[in-house]
Structure formats: structure tokens, C-alpha cells
Chains A and B, each alone.
Chain A
Amino acid sequence: MGAMNIERFEVAQFGPRLGTRLEGQQAREQLLVLLQSISPTGQVRVSLAGIDVLSTSFSDELIGRILHQLTNGDFGDRSLVLETPALELADGIDVKLAQRQLAVLCLVGDSWHLLGATTPAMVETLGLIIAKGQTTTKELAAELDLQMNACVNRVARLAKLHLIRREQIGMSGPQAIYTLHSILTD
């Protein structure tokens, strides 16, 4: 898999205190243009640097709706990651993604957090994939001491939410075999 094309989207370009759904909608239109302009496996990092207040409504219009489209497959294998100087700035995003049953990876400095509708199992599995950079479901099942089916379900959920990337490398009977890639690895 080639190097990932990463573009930044600065939310503060719309002001430090955001805002209403209308403001979120206007910002989303620009984020959509950026997402569509990057390579099919590219990534947009949405930065909250310079933001003072981000309301839940704005968060939902900008991030919630985009992630809804992303998980519906509207943007192919593209992914979206949040970057924030302080986790509390992303509280509204966390609330709205939980409401929508969606999730996003959020970087605070060197550490990552999973926001939205998360479970300890998701965090555990995602953490291992991020630590390894690249792995397979079989390896994960062994390391997590899980039955294969349970591991496949966990991985499928993470892939559906575009929190990891799967690359098909072959078939085993009727089942596709994938390598699993962290979206935090260039």
C-alpha cells in the first residue's frame, strides 16, 4: 500500500467560537470539497487548533454528517482523523458521534483517543492495530485470545467506521483475506 495522502482542514478558519448548525453546514461544504479532492485512500485531518468553543450542533453538522457519509461509502477508502490541542474541545463531537453510533480517531499530541460510540473491545482492537501499523485478523485473534468470528466482527466494525483500512490480499474458500492497516501510519 502506498504512502497516504494527508490534507489538513483548519476549523478555526471559520472563527474561534462555533457555532450554529448554519455555520457547521457552511464549514462542511468546504470539508466536502477537500475530501473529494484527495486521493481515493487519502486522509483529512481536521484540526481544532485555535478553536475556543465548539458547540455540539456545529460538531454534528461538520463531523457527524461527514462521518455518516464516510461510513456509507460515499468517499471510498478515504478517512478522517481529528486533531485537537485539548480533548475537552472535542466534547461536542464525542456527544454527537455517540448519538449517531459513529466514532472518530482523535489525536491529542502524541496520544490517540477514540470518540463517539465506542466500546472497550473496539479500543482494545484498534489499539493493537495502531501499535502494529499493519496486521491480519488471524494475528489479532491470537494476540487478543479471541475466536476468529469474534475478531472478524470487531475488525469489520472498525473498517466500516473507517477507523482502519483493509486491503484484500486473497481468498480462503468463500472468505476474503485482508491485511489491516492503521490509518495513523503514513
Chain B
Amino acid sequence: MEPLTQLTLKTIDTILERVAVNPQDRLDLRGVRFADPYALVLLYLFLLEGEEARQPVTVSWPQSQRVRQWMRAMGIPMSRFSHTVGPIAEADGALQPITRIEDESGVGRVVDGFHRRLEQRYPLTETSRRALVAVMIELFQNIPHHSNATGASSDPHGVAAMQDDEDSIFLAVADKGVGLSASLGLRAGYENLSDAAALDVVFHQGASRFDDPGRGGELRRIASLVRSWDGAFALRSGRALYSFDASGGDVYDVPHFPGVQLGIRFPRQLFV
């Protein structure tokens, strides 16, 4: 089996698939030389899921010191995986470590933190900064609004992280809650949708679990905004992934993972 060198939106599902096929296998990340925040938050939730199910995944962490240092700074404990994302030491390169999102009343504080980190590093233009903050508010509050819509989770929460590279900024928001299909399924007329069908109605109808004309449409609007920025967008729920970038996009089958995971990459030139 080819060693993984990239831990990214494009490769993370391969990792989940490998572990799903051989749950006893060690997750081998030794060859990883680059990782993005989307893959990182999904990995974080995947390891958490294993711990909670009392089937912890054994990981061989990247050999690259730079990558290990970054992952640790972003909130992934290397030596022993833990539930707690504690205070994170500043490290070279880490823009915004994995941050826990729980109730709606805490969303403003989390957004302020992300905003501050971004502002410290970039001379943001007013328009793009406002647009990005508004996007964060919507995405972060989706976690308390939807991730435990059925009330099944005893510890409903999600995580978000952000990282920049040479030419882009990458925001990732994820939970391992009930997912789009189960959330939409609470509304009459949307019961028993497949994950791919749930993604479809979210994007094409702007549907939400709330039967209120003012609700819904946010993910569709954000996707449209990202498209206008020439950015990349990925939304994963259950067994389906919708993603696009400047070269096009589609809905893909992926290995099952609970909840909703979202990644947005946008060009840095937007902010300067």
C-alpha cells in the first residue's frame, strides 16, 4: 500500500476507508509531509469517535518534524489522543488551532477569536473581512442548531480550525452529529433522504429542517460566495461529499462518517 504523503481533503477519505476495511490496522501517517485543516478536523473527530466507541485507533504520526509540530500546535496531541483540546502553545505557522464549538451563546466569542487571529496576520479589506466573519457565524452556529437535531447525542459539539498557506486560507468546520439527512428528516416531506439526496436539497432548494421561509439557504449562499471568490468548497455528510473548485465539482461517494464536515479554501489575494 502506497504511503500517504498528503493528509488533505482529497486523501482523508482514503484513510477512513483503509481503517474501515481493516479496523485493527495502525493508521500510518509517517510519510505525511503536508496536511490541511479539513483533513485535520476530520482526523480529530475520527480519533475521538474511536475513543468514544472504546475502539481507539492506533496512529503512527508523521515523521516530518515540521508537520508534527504543526499538528500539535493545531490541537492534535501526538503521544496520546485526548478528548480535550487544551490551551495551545503558539507554534510557527499555526493560524487558528482546533476550537470546540458547543452552544449558540458561545459562537460570537469563537468567531471573535478567529477574526482576531486572521486580522493579526493579514491586512484585511473591509468587504472580504465582513463577508468572512458573516460566513463563520453561519457555519459555527449550524453546529448547535443542527448537529444534535434529534437529541441523540450526549455531548453535542463541533470543531473549527483555520490555516493559511502560500496562496490561500483554509477554514474547516466539522461535527460528528446526526448529519444532514437525519436533520432534514425531521421535516415533513424530507424523511429518509440518502446522504447524497440531502446534499442535493440543501444546495438546490436551500432546504432546512425548519419549516420557516426565513430559515435555510445559508450553505447554498456560502457555496455561491466561495465560487465568486474562485475558492474551493467541500461539504461532507454521512456517505456523500459535495465539492468544487475552479475546475468544477460533483457529488462523490465516501466512506461513512457521522455528522457534517465542511472546508472552504479562498485565495489570500481577497484579503489584501
A: which residues have CB within 8 A of B?
Answer: 15, 17, 19-23, 52-58, 60, 64-65, 68, 88-89, 92, 95-96, 99-101
Contacts and interface: CB of A to CB of B under 8 A. Distances in A.
A96 B214 contact: yes
Contact of B108 (A23, A92, A101): A23
Interface residues of B, number: 22
B138 A55 contact: yes
A52 B111 CA distance: 13
Contacts of A55: 134, 137-138
Interface in B66-104: 104
Contact of B104 (A15, A17, A22, A89): A22
A99 B213 contact: yes
Contacts of B111: 17
A20 B213 contact: no
Interface string B124-150: 000100100110011001000100000
Interface in B104-125: 104-105, 107-108, 111-112, 115
A150 to B, nearest CB: 27
Nearest to B134: A55
B221 interface: yes
B218 interface: yes
Contacts of B56: none
A85 to B, nearest CB: 12
22 contacts: A15-B108, A17-B112, A17-B137, A19-B107, A19-B108, A21-B104, A52-B130, A52-B133, A53-B133, A53-B134, A55-B134, A55-B137, A56-B138, A57-B137, A58-B137, A60-B214, A64-B214, A88-B127, A95-B217, A95-B221, A100-B213, A100-B214
- With most chain B CB atoms within 10 A of its CB, the pick from A20, A88, A92 is A20
A92 B137 CA distance: 12
A91 to B, nearest CB: 8
A19 B104 CA distance: 10
Contacts of B215: 60
Contacts of A88: 127, 130
Nearest to B141: A20
A148 B206 CA distance: 38
Nearest to B145: A21
Nearest to A58: B137
8 smallest beta-carbon distances between A and B, as pairs: A60-B214, A55-B137, A64-B214, A53-B133, A22-B104, A20-B141, A55-B134, A100-B213
A20 B221 contact: no
Contacts of B115: 17
Contacts of A57: 137-138, 141, 218
A65 B138 contact: no
A104 to B, nearest CB: 14
Interface in B194-229: 206, 213-215, 217-218, 221
B130 A20 contact: no
A83 B141 CA distance: 27
B104 A99 contact: no
